[in-house]
Structures are given as structure tokens and as C-alpha cells.
Amino acid sequence: MKQNRAGLITLAFVTIAIILAVLKDFNLVSIPDVFLVVTRWALAVVLFIYAVLRKNLTTWILVCMVLGVFLGIDYPNVAVAMQPLSKGFIKLVKTIVGPILFATLVYGIAGHSDLKQVGRMAWKSMLYFYCATTVALFIGLAAINISQAGAGVNIQNMPHTELPKPVKDLADESILQTLPDHIHWLYKTLAFFRNIFPENIAKSIYDAQILQIVIFSIIFGVGLAMVDEKKRKPMVDFCESLSETMFKFTNVIMYFAPIGVGAAMAYTVGHMGVEILKNLFMLVATLYVALFAFILLVMLPIALYIKLPILKFINAIKEPVSIAFATTSSDAALPKAMSAMEKFGVPRKIVSFVIPTGYSFNLDGTTLYLSLASIFVAQAAGMHLSFGEQLLIVFTLMITSKGVAAIPRASLIILIATADQFGLPTFIIAAILGIDELMDMGRTSLNVIGNCLATVVIAKWEGEFNPDYIETEEV
């Protein structure tokens, strides 16, 4: 009863704060800035008390996100200085990625010795990933053509910020020069598959090359499964103990999540400011409408078709999605997403295979954004692209986007490379830099949602989804 009363009071304060902000922004009522500041921090106190009463990690994460926004608005310099806390949290989480992937994959494969199932999961996962990301590309393409967000943008006043150059392999470039243009796509595709194999597993873990870690772990697990029982058991037991330890390690680190997430939001608002949204509001709005369209037109029908308990699924993924939204890093949400899906009823062997693989092949939000942003650049430059030319860009992105690392702003490199390839002016991308973090929040969240949903789809396909295992855990 006490929590319900606190929830109603909090909702009332939030509603009042939103109404006052809208009235102020649209100049409907003259409201002193001091009054708005007092209202915001009164709300902050109410939210803090509500979080104390709830004693729930998700509540603390969401409350700290709001507090971070308030800090960024009212004390931008302090907010920017908070960045090391968010970076520290992300670094702490990334220490888990390598060990947890290796342990769960090896145990999932060698511990059950069902190599045929591994093969089935591989082709089923890849089929699902390519279908989902292809639809995402076309939804992004449709959204930007409908909104025409780039048309009418004044590129004369755009900043000419120096952009990072796509890294080029000199050996690959020399070989490409000896090949005719129509064969380049084949070489680049095969070069991508070449690069997924680890040269040094320690280096792969250091560089957070998730797909390379996955490939090594799968081959290691297959090799271990082929060893006789006496020699296999100690390593399988070790991997089981390591995976359990890393999941507990994740739970410990998550106590720091509200601080890391709040600092990330404070830095974003303090560094970016609210003013920049007015210039590129249509692009941001188009992206978020397209992301919601993907959820409603693709994810929801899939969820209904497989008879997914949607409310329980939302409850299961809210923590990893909140972390992904605030930190703009899929990596930061990976350990929590894996443990959440296991508690949701998906077997660990499926979770440990599908989610890490999806981090390279099933980035729905990123692929949608890339097709949308590419056409936005052309529209802003006044270049008319035929439907055939737009399709060519989309098919190119279908290949290049699969190599996007699950780290903040990695998609920007792909966007620059695509713009270079098709003669689009890259300086326009500099204008996107200012709001890229805001857009990255949405697309990274969709990446995490898509990969969590994929685990349930594959588990259902394998006949191993166990909804009776679903449990709720208050941290």
C-alpha cells in the first residue's frame, strides 16, 4: 500500500513537471526558469524516495536516468565531468564478456555433446537474423522516403567536423585494384568471413571481438565434445563453474549500474544540450518512429505467432534494455541480457549461442539506422537517388552492417564508408554527430530487444522453451 501511494505521488509530480516543460517550450505560459529548476529537483527528491521504497534495481536505474537528465540540464559542466563513471561501468561490464561467452558456449556444446543441435541452431539463427535485419533495412528506407527529413536542410551552416576515416587493409586494397569492379563485392564478402576467425584469442578478448570469441569457443567446444568422457569432464566442470561465477559477477556489478547509467545520461544531456534537437528534429523523429514501426510490424507479430508471454518478456528485458539505452553500448547489456533470458525459460546453451552471434548478425536497430541515415545524407545534399540506386545502397549495407561491432558509434564508420563508396558528401554526416548519441540510444535498445526475442524464437523452434521456468528476481 505504501509503495502504491508513493507511485501515485511520483506520477503526479512527473505529470506536473512534463506539463510545465511543454508550456515553457511552446511559450504558452511565461514560467520563470527558477520555478522550473525547483520543480525538477522536487521531482528528483520524490523519485529518490520512491526508489528507496521500491528497493528494486530496475527502478533505481530508471530513476538515475531521470536524475542524470536533470543534472545535464541544470548543471551541464558537472554532468560532463561525470563521464568517467559511465566509462568505468562499461569497462567493468566488458571484463565479463570474454569469459562468459567462452564458458557458456563451451559448456553448452561439450556439456551436452549434441553437435547436431549446434548445427541446427546455427542455420536457424542465421536465417532468422538475415530476415529480421533485411526487413529493418527496408523499414528504414521507407521511413526516410516518407518523412523526407533531409530535404530542405540548410547544409551551408553545417559544421565541417573532421570525421574518422574508415580503416583500410592495404593488402586488401592492393588485391582489389587487380580485380574488376563487379568482383569486388565477392572479395569483400569473403574478407569479412576471413576476419571472423581469431588470430589470437587473447587479442580477440582484449579487442572485444565478440564474433571471433564465439567462433573460437564453438570450435573449442566441438573439439572438447569429441574427447573421451574422462578427459572431457574436468574442462566441462571448469566451464560450468566459470559461467556460474561470471553470472554472479554480473549481479555484483549491476549494483553499480544506476550510478553508471545516471552518469551516462547526465553526460549525454550536458554535452549535447537540448538545442541541437531543433535543427535535426525530423531525423531523430523519423528514426524513432521507424524503430517503433519495426517493433509493431515485425517483433510483435513474431511474438504473437510464437505465443510469447509479452508482459513477462517486457519485465525480463527491461533492465538490459535500460542499460543499453543509457550507455549506448550493447556490450554493457550483454551479460544481463543473457542471464535474463535464461531466467525467462530459454536454455543456457541456446542463450549462449544466439545472443553473442546476434551481436554481429542481428543488429536490427543499427541496420535500420544505416539505411535511413544514408538516404538522409543524399536528401540533405540535394541528390536524387532512384529506387534502384537506393536498393543498391541497401544491399551493400546488408553485407557491411554485419561487421558492425556492438560498441558506441561503430555504425558511424560504416555510414562514412558507404557514403564514400556511393559518392555521398561525408561532411553532412558531421551534422549527425551532434545527435548521434541520442539516436544511438534508440537503435542500441532495439538491438538488445531483437537479440532477446531471437533466443525465444530459436528455443521455440528447437522445442526447448520452458515458460514454467520463468522466475522473477528482485535485486
Looking at residue 4, its pLDDT comes to: 52
Question: At residue 3, does pLDDT exceed 70?
Answer: no
Burial of 344 (0-12, 13-18, 19+ CB in 10 A): buried
Looking at residue 217, its pLDDT comes to: 86
Query: Within a 10 A sphere around the Cβ of 437, how many other Cβ atoms?
Result: 17
Looking at residue 13, its pLDDT comes to: 53
Of all residues in the chain, the percent with pLDDT exceeding 90 is 13
Task: Judge whether 405 and 208 are in contact, CB under 8 Å.
Answer: yes
Question: At residue 475, does pLDDT exceed 50?
Answer: no
| 258/218 Cα distance (integer angstroms) | 34
**CATH architecture entry for 56-469:** Orthogonal Bundle (1.10)
- Using left for φ > 0, alpha for ψ between -120 and 50, and beta otherwise, residue 329 falls in beta
How do residues 282-295 score in pLDDT, each as one tens digit? Answer: 888 899 999 999 99
Rg for the chain (alpha carbons), in Å?
23
Q: Give the mean model confidence (pLDDT) for residues 152-179.
A: 61
3-state secondary structure of 346: coil
Backbone angles phi, psi at 24, to 5 degrees: -70, -45
How do residues 58-73 score in pLDDT, each as one tens digit? Answer: 788 878 888 888 888 7
